[in-house]
Amino acid sequence: MAAFLLRKPATRAFAYAGYCAILCCMRDVVVIPTYNERELIAGLLRKVFNTTPNVFVWVVDDTSPDGTAEEVRDLQKTFKNLSLHVRPKKTGLGSAYLEVFSLLLADPTVRTITTMDADWSHNPVYIPDLLQESWRHDVVVGSRYVSGGGVPRWEAWRRLLSWGGNAYARLVTGVPVCDLTAGFVCFRREVLERMDFSKIHSAGYAYTIESKCLAYRSGARIKEIPIVFEERRGGESKISKHVIREGVAAPWRIRFSRLS
């Protein structure tokens, strides 16, 4: 900054104009993994682009048998900022994100990458808030467990299970994030470039815990903003007994692995 201020006025103005041009070319990308979400994806994508018209969206589909990819291809005729990445088979949420992160980070114009679910549990109306906070923080978490957030339609047992699971993960890992299992997260490219993805071993939903822990250990400034987590609007939940077991084991693996 000091060097910038010492330049001659004309040179300084030219440099500033170039800086603004770079900022204008930077991209905020939303990544949405899908598997059998054909009945929901069109409405969700329209909402995303209506809410944040300048955002870029990558749908990552694990060759859904219900034709989700075909639905997205039709929507690409309408939305120029919509991309589709089809993987040969279903290998889990975590692997989908990590594969696309490596592709997107090869593009120097990508400023942030926001992850969200395709089932409407993450409402696109919060995307502008995540992006706004990303100018001041490295990682912005759409959190159910900070003031103003919540899960109003959940049964008491489900709410207790989720809250308890997050408290358990926070206690074991020592990472001070209230909603460690949140999947609605905005990452600045700088923090993703510092993270060693080879240290993330969870293919499923436990990836959400590991990624935040890795970001925290890399020195990321993490901010939680409140969101209201909604019920899936259709289709079937991807939560299974294996996912739950992975979520129980992952915090201990993180604690005793090189992530710590």
Distances (CA, A) of 188 to 75, 171, 227: 27, 26, 20
Going along 162-236, which residue ranges are E strands? 185-188, 222-226
Q: Counting beta carbons within 10 angstroms of the beta carbon of residue 237, is it exposed (0 to 12), middle (13 to 18) or buried (19 or more)?
A: exposed
Section 219-232 average pLDDT: 94
The model's pTM is 0.84
pLDDT tens by residue, 35-59:
999 999 999 999 999 999 999 999 9
Residues 189 and 113: beta-carbon distance below 8 Å: yes
Task: pLDDT band for 161, please (50, 70, 90 cuts).
Answer: confident
259 has pLDDT over 50: no
Q: ∠ CA 25-31-32 to the nearest 5 degrees?
A: 150
Rg of the chain's alpha carbons, rounded to an integer? 19
The pLDDT assigned to 97 comes to 94
- Token representation of residue 101: 């992160």
Q: pLDDT tier at 255 (50, 70, 90 boundaries)? A: confident
Instruction: Give the model confidence (pLDDT) of 100-120 as tens digits.
Output: 999 999 999 999 999 999 999
pLDDT at 11: 52
pLDDT score at 236 = 57
What whole-number distance in Å separates Cα of residue 142 and Cα of residue 206?
17
CB count within 10 Å of CB 23 equals 9
pLDDT for 20: 42
Is 249's pLDDT higher than 80? no
Domains of the chain: 26-231+238-256 (3.90.550.10)
**At residue 251, does pLDDT exceed 80?**
no
Rounded to an integer, the average pLDDT of 232-236 is 65
